[in-house]
């Protein structure tokens, strides 16, 4: 495995290996000194064409815990503003002798194009509405930590702005590969136009599903995209799809409540629910570092010891 | 000691310990290789909601000299812009498994609120008009390096925009704890409305005090706050409160001239005075790194060796 | 050698030593673990008053491969915005105890001024239209890697916006010191008003020179300066001075094609030429890291082993 571009590229055994690695690295991050020399001398560049401090910081933390050097290519102050194209920007970074590039880009497919141009390993940290594979990995890892590796027969709902969500698309692929039955829940205007290629079902009503769910993931209403124009009002969205305290009480006591963050508290999730005992939202962030250590180690460190 | 939020939280013995540590780390920073492994594997995040390259760089230098990993949470490009609240931002950082957060925030009390939400050590790097404890520590350290630890009977004037100054408030507490007699000097409009809780006196005229001072600290006129609307003109301010060359000549030859920076040369301090033999303004910056090493080591490294 | 401000400050033997060091460090960067402990404990600050992610990243990579700590003084968020002068900004950085400052500034001579104010080593990373010595070093290094150290009788053309180019000025000095005959090629409006002090010749027509060149370096048309107002149109510029595929075919098969980046593909160089077999543009970037390692090691590490 040289790149991680899409969950769809992974076999079940790739996925199992990454989840095993994530578990090993989670235990590393809980040590007194949460750092291993595995990637000493390797250089990882983060190249983010869209803002995302959360994801960037998670990757940087992961890389530093593996003792890699981390460099930030800040697009805001880069040659990109002088009209340099993506290809030359990437070629320049590659020529400096780096080992991996973590890329976020507004255009679906940009990370895959980059693999055609340079030799380094490419990790997709989100491309348009297409894929966000490390998010899917950390979400799958979080569920399996609570339910075991075999998710056969488990029911997971992903609720919200599914149409715009690379998280939903990636999560569906990862969770269904592990056996889960995933249902996308959203107003019709926020569902994909077709479910072809999505190994899951969809629903317009959340309430009937609640008592049977093993996990429910609320997606962020993305004000900065066009989501909020696709339903009458935030108040109405919350009334039908928000995980309010009343709805949360109808979940099984062991159902997991998840959110990729950043949350709009009071919109897609009530504050008390986000902070309640069934929420694993903080675990998701913690597991994100472990999952990204697993990915970077798999791509760059193969052959050496994990710890 | 888990956090450093305010000088008011310190006992005299805490303060003495931090000053002793600062002296040890100052000698570390003067070695050929000014770096110790004390905090290897620890992660320090700087979370600055207000611009301050000087203070941020000083903390980063301190952390790196202790071999900690440093991460910068750049608010300008963060989820904060997507409407995420302070609590969720901080919770996310904490869930990544970091050990300390260095916080600057425009709201007084923000660092203390954060301690209620997360487990990491919090260092207040300036909150509103409230506190800037590491600045007070480095100022006290700078004076004690020249005058010894016991400042009983020493006279220190803090001159300028005292009302808006978290530096003044913190310095008064630290210096009075060591025995110094501090006088705040400013036009009435820039003095606090009451001195209740400030262990110091105040004066409207600087000139009569000059011959008796052991140290004079000039504060920056903060154009970006409302200070400059509170007196007729910069020229008039300088005429009455600026440390001009004429005024500097009336100081004792061993009186220390201090400024927390950045300076408005020609306003609160004359350029020749800032660069003159009695100025310890450069020492303050150098000592700032040592003082911040002391704080980070005290909060995160206790139990290990200093060097 | 304490600073690197201008190629004009170097003797032939300095230049030879730096080129030898660059060769050593190039081999370091090609190792499995491309990192040496030579500058462990040293701190390098990058202080860029003009945007340049490429150059900044190259210096940072170089410093990290030498195990130095790197700090970025981001001018956009600095005290400079609060009105602090260059001298105080630099003095503050110096007082934190750093070893080298890599400076880019719009004003010619700014790096030399800084050496008068502080003790640290200063590396000029580009000052106005004056000098960019590490670019000249990497360009000279790239040519000597292909042609050997003695460039006597070799013909190099530097084509484009020569008048505004600190790269051209620095390259002419370095290449002529090694024996090359350099010709500046540009429309009269983009040539220097006088060649006094430039050890080279100039020409207005590129075509007659092509068959005899050992290397041709295309400069970037700097839209952000006033270059594009000095000739009728980009199309016309390309027609007379662009290294089109037709012109490239008239070069000798072993002539080197160079560009300091970022390129305007289709303007000063055709895309197919930039990516063709005679292009060493990617090598220039790779060699840039090695050349900057050489400079930092020479200034900060002398006495220790290279590897």
Mean pLDDT, rounded, for B82-100? 86
Question: Are C150 and C178 spatial neighbours (Cβ–Cβ below 8 Å)?
Answer: yes
Q: Is C55 a catalytic residue?
A: yes
pLDDT at C105 over 70: yes
- Please report which confidence band the pLDDT of residue B85 belongs to, taking 50, 70 and 90 as the band edges: confident
A-side interface with C, Cβ within 8 Å? Answer: 40-41, 43, 69, 71, 73-74, 77-79, 81-85, 88-89, 91-98
pLDDT tens profile B133-192? 999 999 999 999 999 999 999 999 999 999 889 999 999 999 999 999 999 999 999 999
Contacts of A3 (CB under 8 A, 6+ apart): A9, A111, A115, A121, A122, A123, A124, A299
- The mean-pLDDT minimum among B82-96, B138-152, B215-229 falls in B215-229
Question: Are C115 and C85 spatial neighbours (Cβ–Cβ below 8 Å)?
Answer: no
Question: Are C127 and C103 spatial neighbours (Cβ–Cβ below 8 Å)?
Answer: yes
The residue assigned the tokens 């880069």 is: A78
Provide the percentage of residues in chain B whose pLDDT is more than 70: 93
pLDDT tens profile A283-307? 999 999 999 999 999 999 865 666 5
- Please report which confidence band the pLDDT of residue A25 belongs to, taking 50, 70 and 90 as the band edges: very high
Q: Which residue has the higher pLDDT, A140 or B76?
A: A140
ipTM (interface predicted TM): 0.86
Q: Is B166 a catalytic residue?
A: no
Q: Where are the domains positioned within chain C?
A: 7-129+285-300, 133-280
What is the third-level CATH fold of A133-280?
Rossmann fold (3.40.50)
- A-chain CB neighbours of B81 within 8 Å are 51
Q: What does the alpha-carbon distance between residue C109 and residue A232 come to, in Å, rounded to a whole number?
A: 61
β-bridge mates for residue A183, sequence order: A157, A201
The residue assigned the tokens 């230049």 is: C15
Q: What does the alpha-carbon distance between residue C69 and residue C121 come to, in Å, rounded to a whole number?
A: 15
CA atoms within 13 A on the CB side of C61: 33
Within 10 angstroms of residue A172's Cβ, the number of other Cβ atoms is 25
pLDDT at A231 over 90: no
The residue assigned the tokens 């934190």 is: C96
Across the interface, which of A81, A88, A96 has its CB nearest the CB of C263?
Answer: A88
Q: If you measure CA to CA, which chain C residue comes closest to A45?
A: C57
pLDDT at C81: 53
Phi first, then psi, for residue A7 (nearest 5°) are: -60, -30
Helical H segments across A30-71, by residue range: 53-65
Within 10 angstroms of residue A230's Cβ, the number of other Cβ atoms is 17
A-side interface with B, Cβ within 8 Å? Answer: 29-30, 32-35, 51-54, 57-58, 60-61, 64, 76, 223-224, 261-265, 282-286, 288-289
- B-chain CB neighbours of A285 within 8 Å are 91-92, 95-96
pLDDT at C227: 59
Nearest CA-CA partner of A209 in A172, A255, A164: A255
Question: Are C49 and C105 spatial neighbours (Cβ–Cβ below 8 Å)?
Answer: yes
- C-chain CB neighbours of B288 within 8 Å are 96
- Please report which confidence band the pLDDT of residue A234 belongs to, taking 50, 70 and 90 as the band edges: confident
Across the interface, which of A57, A263, A289 has its CB nearest the CB of B73?
Answer: A57
Across the interface, which of B41, B82, B88 has its CB nearest the CB of A34?
Answer: B41
pLDDT at B18: 98
Asked whether the CA dihedral B73, B75, B78, B84 is positive or negative, the reply is positive
pLDDT tens profile C13-67? 999 999 999 999 999 999 988 999 999 999 999 999 887 888 999 999 999 999 9
Phi first, then psi, for residue A284 (nearest 5°) are: -55, -45
Nearest CA-CA partner of C135 in C23, C295, C277: C295
CB distance A97–C29 less than 8 Å? yes
In angstroms, the Cα distances linking C240 to C186, C195, C246 are 9, 22, 12
Q: Mean pLDDT score of chain A, rounded to an integer?
A: 92
- C-chain CB neighbours of B282 within 8 Å are 91, 94-95
Q: Is B55 a catalytic residue?
A: yes
Pairing of strands B181-185, C100-105: unpaired
Indicate the DSSP class of residue A189: G
pLDDT at B307: 56
The answer as to CATH 3.40.50.1370 being correct for domain A7-129+285-300 is: yes
Beta strands in chain C (DSSP E): 43-48, 69-74, 100-105, 121-127, 155-159, 181-185, 201-203, 215-218, 256-258
Q: What does the alpha-carbon distance between residue C243 and residue B49 come to, in Å, rounded to a whole number?
A: 49
Q: What does the alpha-carbon distance between residue B247 and residue C63 come to, in Å, rounded to a whole number?
A: 46
Which of B25, B222, B262 to probe the C interface (max C CBs under 10 A)?
B262
Phi first, then psi, for residue B99 (nearest 5°) are: -100, -35
Q: Which residue has the higher pLDDT, C164 or B219?
A: B219
Q: What does the alpha-carbon distance between residue A99 and residue A77 come to, in Å, rounded to a whole number?
A: 23
CA distance A305 to chain B (A): 19
Q: What does the alpha-carbon distance between residue A128 and residue A163 come to, in Å, rounded to a whole number?
A: 12
pLDDT at A222 over 80: no
As a whole number of Å, the CA-based R_g of chain C is: 19
Nearest CA-CA partner of A279 in A271, A267, A287, A291: A271
Mean pLDDT, rounded, for C84-108? 91
Question: Are B48 and B125 spatial neighbours (Cβ–Cβ below 8 Å)?
Answer: yes
pLDDT at C5 over 60: yes
Which subunits count as partners of chain C given 3+ CB pairs below 8 Å? Answer: A, B
Contacts of C292 (CB under 8 A, 6+ apart): C58, C59, C61, C62, C63, C134, C138
CA atoms within 13 A on the CB side of C131: 20
Across the interface, which of A33, A51, A289 has its CB nearest the CB of B96?
Answer: A289
pLDDT tens profile C192-229? 999 988 999 999 999 999 999 999 999 998 765 555 67
Q: Is C292 a catalytic residue?
A: no
CA distance A128 to chain B (A): 17
Q: Do B7-129+285-300 and B133-280 share a fold?
A: yes
Provide the percentage of residues in chain B whose pLDDT is more than 90: 82
pLDDT at A253: 98
pLDDT tens profile A158-203? 999 998 899 999 999 999 999 999 999 999 999 999 998 899 999 9
pLDDT at C301: 86
Mean pLDDT, rounded, for A211-226? 85
β-bridge mates for residue A201, sequence order: A183
């Amino acid at each position: 495995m040289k790149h991680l571009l899409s969950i769809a590229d992974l076999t079940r055994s790739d996925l199992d290996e990454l989840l095993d690695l994530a578990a090993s690295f989670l235990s590393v991050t809980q040590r007194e000194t949460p750092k291993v020399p595995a990637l000493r001398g390797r250089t990882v560049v983060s190249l983010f064409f869209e803002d995302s401090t959360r994801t960037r910081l998670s990757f940087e933390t992961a890389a530093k815990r593996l003792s890699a050097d981390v460099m930030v290519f800040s697009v805001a102050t880069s040659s990109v503003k002088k009209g340099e194209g993506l290809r030359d920007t990437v070629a320049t970074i590659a020529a400096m002798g780096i080992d991996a590039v973590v890329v976020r880009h507004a255009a679906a497919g940009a990370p895959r194009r980059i693999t055609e141009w340079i030799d380094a390993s490419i990790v997709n940290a989100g491309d348009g509405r297409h894929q966000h594979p490390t998010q899917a990995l950390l979400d799958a890892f979080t569920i399996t930590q609570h339910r075991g590796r075999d998710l056969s027969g488990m029911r997971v709902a992903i609720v919200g702005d599914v149409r715009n969500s690379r998280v939903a698309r990636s999560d569906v692929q990862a969770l269904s590969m592990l056996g889960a039955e995933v249902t996308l829940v959203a107003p019709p205007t926020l569902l994909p136009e077709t479910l072809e290629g999505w190994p899951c079902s969809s629903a317009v009503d959340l309430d009937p599903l609640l008592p049977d769910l093993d996990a429910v993931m609320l997606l962020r209403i993305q004000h900065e995209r066009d989501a909020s124009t696709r339903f009458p009002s935030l108040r109405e969205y919350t009334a039908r799809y928000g995980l309010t305290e009343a709805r949360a009480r109808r979940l099984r006591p062991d159902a997991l409540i998840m959110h990729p963050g950043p949350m709009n508290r009071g919109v897609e999730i009530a504050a008390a629910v986000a902070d309640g005992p069934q929420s694993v939202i903080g675990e998701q962030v913690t597991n994100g570092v472990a999952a990204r250590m697993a990915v970077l180690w798999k791509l760059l460190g193969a052959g050496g010891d994990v710890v």
